[in-house]
């Protein structure tokens, strides 16, 4: 039995069929997909995801090897000198705020969870600076659990494709969970994020090259 959307309704078989067709085409474009962030364990992915705000994954991948060599565990980063961390992550932007965040996150992790990243969304979002999106990325990628991360790309692409009419990320997540089978959740959000970067971009969507054009009801589609 399909789950309920944010408004309490259940998707019809036709709506689920259209969602499946969209996912199948996205799978053809991106047969295998994972985060481009490099990491060795859930804590490293958590830190890398916090650092990826307002910058590219490539920029994060340039600084994290040195960062994790210098601070190899949550306990080490929890005790770090903020100025030293700022220097290491400077090129990712917002470096003061991000340094404070990843230190506080590591302190929280040590104090609350003995340094182990929990594989539970309700526990993850209690950690300093960890929102639902970051928690979902870590659950899906590092733990292989069903989770849908809703970022700006997912929000834009799913609204254009008529998979949701909501703008609140929590409601979008619920709408998508009602439409797609649990086993597809993690891959779905990674594919939507990449598709939003490559094709259905914010300013100039490439509708003429888009394999979803016949399934897309967006009235501002470009030929
Ligand atoms: S047709 Fe255009 S707006 Fe619709 S999904 Fe494709 S790129 Fe996005």
- CATH for 42-116 is 1.10.340.30
Distance CA 174, CA 164 (A): 9
| Residue recorded with tokens 């060599």 | 69
pLDDT in single tens digits along all 223 residues of the chain: 668 999 999 999 999 999 999 999 999 999 999 999 999 999 999 999 999 999 999 999 999 999 999 999 999 999 999 999 999 999 999 999 999 999 999 999 999 999 999 999 999 999 999 999 999 999 999 999 999 999 999 999 999 999 999 999 999 999 999 999 999 999 999 999 999 999 999 999 999 999 999 999 999 987 7
Q: Is the CB of residue 34 below 6 angstroms from any atom belonging to ligand 1? A: no
Q: What is the 143 CA–ligand 1 centroid distance (Å)?
A: 31
pTM to 2 decimal places:
0.91
Choice from 213, 217, 220 to test ligand 1 binding pocket (greatest atom count within 8 A of CB) = 213
What fold, for 13-33+147-215?
A: Endonuclease Iii, domain 2 (1.10.1670)
57, 53, 170: which is closest to 102 by C-alpha?
53
Rg (CA), the chain: 19
Domain boundaries, the chain: 13-33+147-215, 42-116
Q: What is the 214 CA–ligand 1 centroid distance (Å)?
A: 9
């Amino acid at each position: 039995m399909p789950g309920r959307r944010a408004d309490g309704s259940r998707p019809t078989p036709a709506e689920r069929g259209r969602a499946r067709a969209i996912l199948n085409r996205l799978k053809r474009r991106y047969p295998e997909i994972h985060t481009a962030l490099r990491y060795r364990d859930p804590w490293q992915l958590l830190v890398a995801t916090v650092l990826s705000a307002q910058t590219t994954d490539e920029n994060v991948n340039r600084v994290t090897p040195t960062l994790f060599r210098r601070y190899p565990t949550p306990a080490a980063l929890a005790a770090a000198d903020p100025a030293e961390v700022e220097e290491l992550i400077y090129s990712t932007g917002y470096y003061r705020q991000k340094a404070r965040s990843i230190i506080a996150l590591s302190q929280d992790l040590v104090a609350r969870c003995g340094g182990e990243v929990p594989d539970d969304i309700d526990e993850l979002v209690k950690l300093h600076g960890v929102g639902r999106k970051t928690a979902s990325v870590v659950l899906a990628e590092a733990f292989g659990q069903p989770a849908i991360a809703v970022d700006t790309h997912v929000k834009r692409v799913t609204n254009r494709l008529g998979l949701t009419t909501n703008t609140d990320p929590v409601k979008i997540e619920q709408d998508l969970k009602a439409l797609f089978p649990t086993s597809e959740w993690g891959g779905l959000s990674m594919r939507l994020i990449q598709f939003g970067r490559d094709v259905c971009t914010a300013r100039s969507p490439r509708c003429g090259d888009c394999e979803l054009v016949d399934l897309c009801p967006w009235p501002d589609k470009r030929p």
